[in-house]
């Protein structure tokens, strides 16, 4: 049975929404990874300036959290648009723009492979960056070396 022009318009609208959210999701990934590597470069080249490094890491952490939340919103919106396409194909009455308003975040959240990889990659990069900085500060800081030396003296028999 051929679709009516109204159903074709809804299908096109939902498809456009899905492509839009998918494209913006890719932009968010590119932006946050670029910011991350720029900040890592600044941190590594200015490793002696502790106050500068801490402020950069704080900014980077806020950017990462913002990007993560925005990325999840875009993934949810993309999934809602995909569900609208499926519902339209099954000839159900759907209004793509209203579908986002009725979405229940906790019940309907589904992460695809790229969502999970972005979360793991982002968390992994941050974990290794912070571990690297902690090890560097412990080994290069004179005060920290003295504290660790005293600590080892107390612990060792």
What are 54-76's pLDDT values in tens digits? 788 888 888 888 888 888 888 77
Q: What tokens were used for 145? A: 């070396």
**Look-up of token digits 């910011």:** 35
Q: Where are the domains of the chain?
A: 5-155
CA-to-CA distance for 109 and 91, rounded, in angstroms? 24
Q: What is the pLDDT of residues 115-126, one digit of tens each?
A: 788 788 878 887
Q: Which of 9-13, 24-28, 48-52 has the lowest mean pLDDT?
A: 48-52
pLDDT at 142: 62
Do residues 56 and 43 touch, judged by C-beta distance below 8 A?
Answer: yes
**Look-up of token digits 């679709």:** 3
Q: Rounded to two decimals, what is the model's pTM? A: 0.64
Average pLDDT over residues 3-17: 79
Do residues 28 and 70 touch, judged by C-beta distance below 8 A?
Answer: yes
């Amino acid at each position: 049975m051929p679709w009516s022009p109204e159903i074709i318009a809804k299908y096109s609208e939902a498809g456009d929404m899905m492509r839009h959210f998918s494209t913006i999701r890719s932009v968010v990934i590119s932006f946050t990874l670029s910011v991350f590597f720029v900040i890592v470069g600044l941190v590594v080249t200015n490793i002696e300036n502790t106050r500068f490094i801490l402020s950069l890491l704080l900014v980077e952490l806020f950017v990462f959290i913002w990007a993560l939340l925005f990325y999840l919103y875009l993934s949810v919106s993309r999934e809602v648009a995909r569900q609208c396409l499926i519902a339209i194909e099954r000839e159900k009455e759907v209004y793509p723009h209203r579908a986002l308003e009725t979405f229940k975040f906790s019940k309907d959240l589904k992460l695809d492979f790229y969502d999970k990889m972005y979360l793991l990659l982002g968390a992994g990069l941050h974990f290794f960056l912070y571990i690297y900085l902690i090890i560097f500060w412990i080994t290069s800081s004179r005060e920290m070396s003295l504290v660790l030396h005293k600590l080892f003296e107390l612990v060792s028999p």
